[in-house]
Structure 1
Amino acid sequence: MNAQFFRDTQFGHLVRLISGRRRLQYPDEFDPALWTKSIRRAEQTPKTTRRDEAQAAEVAANPNNQEFDRFKELESRDQANIQDLNINHTIENGEDVFLVDWYDMDDSENPHSWPSSWKLLVAFQICLLNFAFYIASSIYVPGEASIMQDFKVGETVATLGLSLFTVGYGLGPMLWSPMSEMPRVGRNDIYFFAFLAFVLLQLPTGFAVNMPMFLIFRFLTGFLGSPALATGGGTLADMYAPAHLAYGICIWGSFGILGPVNGPILGGFVAQAKDWRWTIWVFTWLCSFTVVMIFFLLPETSAANILYRRAKRLRQATGDDRLKSQSEIDAAHHTWRDHLVVLGRAFTLTFSEPIVFALDLYSALLYGIFFTWFESFPLVFGDIYGFNLGEQGLVFLGILVGGLITVPLYLLWVKRSIVPRFSKPDFKPEMVLPPTFFGSAALPICLFWYGWSARENVHWIVPVIGSGSFTISIVTLFFPVFNYLGISYPSTSASIFAGSALFRASFGATFPLFVSLTLR
């Protein structure tokens, strides 16, 4: 791994700031002649000899000599040669504009051109962010009895610790995801600074002195730590072609399921040995490690942001204000109202596109049922079968095992049935949806199995197997829907996933509450 990978990380930005941009420089900072290459069409770049390239580099590297002045004079005077040079030239607001694009089809700064090892490292960090944050939601559940005792509150109020956190991470992506699609902002800053704030605010959460203080900070941490839940899908789309994105979305979604499932397993033993505060500290350590990792190893993946910053550097190096990225050209006439429209894109797409609304609603129903396990398992396996807190957490292994069986089978279907179709002209996004038929049938079967077998005269393994079959619905409903939305809305995938996260979180927050109210 070379300096190029670190250059766009938070660590790289800090090094460049401290060194006055003398360390971890970009190619255009080494060689100012690259500005002419960046504005040519990659597929139409005219052939040049090594001698020509050497002369151009020598001239551009010495901006104070006469040859440079002559070069600039000829360039500005002979506008008729612009078309001959195949330069991306246009007229914007009555002025000449040169479009800054990738240097060529294999531009090393283009995320689609990165080596597979880089892409895998970035994808792993996005999955780890997803897992670390989601485990923070459910690891608290086994500690509800302890918090009821400490703060003298009822079970419904204690359940708000889960529900408000879920509401927070439902609302968060509605802001963070559209912001990540703004070229001036990009994805990296949002990931790092929002998640850093999430980790720091665990201190007042864990040291809360009363229930209102605890609930306020649970909501705030849910809001601040949520970018990876929706923007993660956009990051994967930044790097991978649709054929490979189908695998990435599935694996990324799997980590989003592993988090809530593993939370009660770990939290059950922690809460039994210590108290609810230690459930906070355990996932804070994991999230702190994740923050350190993304500080050093997570680069920017937004092509719009990369090209925006490239155009800005080229303008500073050449003094030519005509060099602009496509996003700057598009935003030339934008007002504050237009920026607010972009920030509200997640709401607009969710509620104005009927297919998006319908799929989000169905996914939300599934997610709400998923969160009822957190309240149902203590009732069934604690009250009926007499399991302690640690053993109640182990019951979630049924869902985990079900996922370990179902996910590979789904990926095999993607490999054999979906990936070969991507290159065909008749491919349609709806082709990824057939598994949802199995998921819609498996859901009621799972619920009846679990509900009718949870009794004293039936062995506890039977309802565990019934709950484990729930992963068939998760895998065959969630993942096809995610793939469909990502393929159908590639340029706004982060905003699309944000709307889905809002629906899921809304149901995930309310279902445990009414279960607690009706069954206790």
Structure 2
Amino acid sequence: MTELIRDTVLGHFLHLVTRKKVLLYEEEKNPELWRKYVHKEKSANLAMHGQTAAPDNEKEEGQGPDDSPTRSPSSGSTVVDENQQINEVSGKRVDPEKGKDVHVVDWWGPDDPENPRNWSRFKRCFVTFEICFLTFSVYIGSAIYTAGIQDVVRVFGVSQVAATLGLTLFVLGYALGPMIWAPMSEIPQIGRNPVYIGTLAVFVIFQVPTALATNFGMLLAFRFLTGFIGSPSLATGGASIGDMYSPSKRTYGLAVWGIGAVSGPTLGPLVGGFAAQHRGWTWTIWELMWLSGFCLVLLIIFLPETSSANILYRRARRLRKLTGNDKLISEPELQGQDMTSKDIIMMSLVRPFTLSFLEPICFCLNMYIALIYGLLYIWFESFPIVFSGIYGFNLGLEGLAFLGIFIGVFVVLPPFVWHQHKYIEPKFNENGELKPEWRLPPSFVGAFAIPICLFWFGWSSRASVHWIVPIIGSGWFSIGAFLLFNSVLNYLSDAYPEYAASVLAGNDFFRSCFGAGFPLFARAMYDYLGVGWASSTLAFISIAFIPIPFVLFKYGESIRKKSKNARHDL
């Protein structure tokens, strides 16, 4: 428990106010441990070559040039040129042109307990639950509003489409926010926790003016701002999972995280339905504030930092302060020193867009996931048409209809985990690496599940058919969405490991834009075409996308090798 709390916001606060008398790190107990944390090989490479990795020609030869200080043949003592600079921890000569005389602070070994991938199973599972709960607490904010749309129409005297803007602007905030928050969480000096906690605190506070909005414009403005502020967990949550799990186990963590991502939108109408029915639309916002407020308190007390770059940065900073040795520096700091302002702007603002539009793999998969996401938000408009208009459900019972989508996730989860364990894990090589295309087979099933769902739901939604039938049909959607999301996000992370944060941020931008736009025309489409043909139209569109995962499975490797950004060695 001490190790869990020490790296949380509460732990840092207690450490500060007690003047470092509680929750001490090992190096604070014994500053002489600093040598234990210095990576000699990386320090030597920096001294000789100016980079932490040895040049490729030396890796192939198995040895580098003899840069050790010369020894006198008669006495055996070290002969050092007065102008020759020696790196203390490695004993290597510092190249006067490109070398750097620094001591690289790293993990003390493969079993360093502060490395998130070495945390105990309980700690990793608990932190995964926290990330999942954070995602749920924010994601529910989009759908919980839909239960009060009719009351918004009545209170503010606006049209149905205008009232729907409260949903779409919130989701549009999801799209734009990660373009700033996701790259910020990758900066070693910041890390993930300040982004999570800071934005969630503002998210909670902004629910107050949203619920107390005195006019429609004020409501829309704060709905957009809350979506924008609350978005980090939606794009960065997967990165936090990746911090804690090796590539072979990451898919299980993402699967659990996916439950939170699906549960939010599907349980939103249920959580908000009965409240909106009896107390009006404002109570849906108050419920969101209470839920996210509880999540904020939980994370302040129990969420440790998962970014290895930030953990190493703070370790190096502590060691510099304890020892007075300014040569102690972490590898993430070194990388930051070499980055110009242009590099930072390219990484945070330009790269997500260039990868999304110029990389064929990214563009096709982003469009596919965006379609699935858009379909989910269309249902927030189609469910009232079906279950209130056809079956006569009240607002509270209408929310229960979404349970079919929710239950579908738990139906597909066990066979997905079994397939990963039995067929995918054995394909990882001795270095823990997998050919990215092997992430795609589950999407073969998911691609067909989406049109099955849409045809089933569309043509079974009629008074002569029991209401449970379209609800069962809707469960196919979560089966398809779950398999597609897990396959695509893992595939993109493996195919573009150096640019994973930018690729995933771009994917989030695409899908959130579609999620924001689709509800605006959903009601008109369903009113004009009818439930059966409107759903069938969407099903035919989803059928057109089915070949994408099959084509990438067969030709993805050759496409990757033609890209200058994708991985070529697998």
TM-score, scaled to structure 1: 0.89
Once the two structures are TM-superposed, the CA of residue 192 in structure 1 deviates from its matched residue by: 0.3
Residue 8 of structure 1 aligns with an amino acid whose one-letter code is: D
Seen in structure 2, the aligned counterparts of structure 1 residues 312 and 149 have a Cα distance that, compared at 3 Å, is: same
- For residues 34-63 of structure 1, what are the alpha-carbon distances to aligned partners after superposition, in whole Å with 9 as ceiling and x for unaligned? 122211349999xxxxxxxxxxxxxxxxxx
Is the Cα contact below 8 Å between 1:40 and 1:86 reproduced in 2? no
1:487-510, Cα deviation, whole Å (9 max, x unpaired) = 333454333322211111111111
Instruction: Determine helix, strand or coil for the equivalent of 1:99.
Output: strand
Percent identity, aligned pairs only?
Answer: 47
Asked whether 1:288 is paired with 2:299, we answer no
Aligned residues: 491
Given that residues 89 and 103 in structure 2 are in contact (C-alpha distance below 8 angstroms), is that contact kept between their aligned partners in structure 1?
A: no
Q: Does 1:168 align with 2:167?
A: no
The 5 A counterparts of 1:434-453 are 434-453=441-460
Amino acid at match of 1:194: T
Is the counterpart of residue 422 in structure 1 residue 428 in structure 2?
A: yes
What residue in structure 2 maps to residue 25 of structure 1?
Answer: 24
Query: Structure 2: which amino acid aligns with 1:358?
Result: C
* Structure 2 CA distance for partners of 1:90 and 1:149, relative to 1, 3 Å: farther
1:494 is matched with which residue? 501
Instruction: State the shift of 1:251 in Å.
Output: 1.1
Paired with 2:205 and 2:10, the residues of 1 have a C-alpha distance of: 19
CA distance in 2, matches of 1:487, 1:93: 32
Letter in 1 for 2:31: P
Q: Which of 317, 324, 327 is the matching residue for 2:322?
A: 317
1:413 aligns with 2:412: no
Residues in 2 aligned to 1:214 and 1:467: alpha-carbon distance in whole angstroms: 31
Q: 1:38 to 1:84 in 2, by over 3 A?
A: closer
| Cα deviations by residue, 1:278-312 (Å, 9 ceiling, x for unpaired) | 01111211111100011011111111111112222
In structure 2, the CA distance between the partners of 1:80 and 1:182, relative to structure 1 (3 Å rule), is closer
- Give the structure 1 partner of residue 352 of structure 2: 346
* Residue-by-residue CA offset, 1:377-413 (whole Å, 9 max, x unaligned): 1011111221111121111111122222112221221
Secondary structure of the residue aligned to 1:139 is helix
Alignment of 1:255-334 (within 5 A): 255-334=260-339
Amino acid at match of 2:385: L
* CA distance in structure 1 between the partners assigned to 2:218 and 2:524 by the alignment: 23
Cα distance, 1:373 vs structure 2: 0.9
Tell me how far 1:214 sits from its aligned partner.
0.5
| CA distance in structure 1 between the partners assigned to 2:271 and 2:380 by the alignment | 13
1-side partners of 2:100 and 2:505: how far apart?
Answer: 38
- Aligned partner of 2:485 among 478, 481, 492: 478
State which of 385, 389, 392 in structure 1 corresponds to 2:395. 389
The 1:407/1:76 distance shift into structure 2, 3 A limit, reads: farther
> For residues 43 and 154 of structure 1, do their structure 2 counterparts lie closer, same or farther at Cα, with a shift above 3 Å needed?
closer
Structure 1: how far apart are the matches of 2:195 and 2:229? 10
Amino acid at match of 2:7: D
RMSD: 2.6
Describe the shift of the 1:519–1:81 C-alpha distance in structure 2 as closer, same or farther (beyond 3 A): closer
Assess, with a 3 A threshold, how the Cα gap between structure 1 residues 348 and 18 changes in structure 2: closer, same or farther: farther
Moved more, 109-118 or 483-492: 483-492
- Tell me if the contact between 1:147 and 1:158 (Cα under 8 Å) persists in the aligned partners: yes
Contact 1:133/1:259 (<8 A) preserved: yes
Q: Which amino acid aligns with 2:399?
A: G
Conservation of the 8 A alpha-carbon contact between 2:39 and 2:103: no
Separation in 2, partners of 1:492, 1:44: 26
2-side partners of 1:448 and 1:217: how far apart? 37
Structure 2 CA distance for aligned equivalents of residues 162 and 111 of structure 1: 36
The answer for the alignment partner of 1:61 in structure 2 is none
Specify every segment of 5 or more residues in structure 1 that has no aligned partner in the other structure, as ranges: 46-73
Aligned partners of 2:103 and 2:81: how far apart in 1? 12
Please say if residues 90 and 98 of structure 1, whose CA atoms lie closer than 8 Å, have aligned partners that are also in contact: no
State whether residues 131 and 259 of structure 1, in contact with CA within 8 Å, keep that contact through their aligned partners in structure 2.
yes
Please report the TM-score for the alignment, with normalisation by the length of structure 2: 0.81
**What is the one-letter code of the residue matched to 1:35?**
W
* In 2, Cα distance between equivalents of 1:318 and 1:293: 35
1:180 counterpart = 2:180? no
CA distance in 1, matches of 2:464, 2:35: 79
Aligned counterpart for 1:128 among listed residues 130, 133, 139: 133
Aligned to 1:97: 102
**Counterpart of 1:49?**
none
**Residue type of the alignment partner of 2:507:** S
CA contact (8 A) 1:233 1:493 kept: no
Mapped contact 1:264–1:396 kept (Cα < 8 A): yes
Quote the residue 2:537 is aligned against.
Answer: none
Q: 2:259 aligns with which of 247, 254, 278?
A: 254
Could you tell me how far 1:180 is from its partner in structure 2? Answer: 0.7
1:442-489 Cα offsets, whole Å, 9 max, x none, are 222221222122222222222222222222211221111122123333
What is the alpha-carbon distance in structure 2 between the residues aligned to residue 484 and residue 456 of structure 1? 43
Could you tell me how far 1:319 is from its partner in structure 2?
2.4
Q: Which shows bigger deviation, 96-105 or 185-194?
A: 96-105
Structure 2 residue 14 is the aligned partner of structure 1 residue 9: no
Question: Could you report, residue by residue, the CA deviation over 1:12-44 in whole angstroms, capped at 9, with x for unpaired residues?
Answer: 121222223343222222212112221134999
Partner of 1:398: 404
**Aligned partners of 2:178 and 2:206: how far apart in 1?**
18
**Residue 368 (structure 1) shift:** 0.5
In 1, distance between residues paired with 2:81 and 2:274? Answer: 73
Q: Which of 343, 357, 364 does residue 363 from structure 2 map onto?
A: 357
Greater mean alpha carbon deviation, residues 441-450 or residues 236-245:
441-450
Structure ranking higher on relative contact order (CA contacts 8 Å, 6+ apart): 1
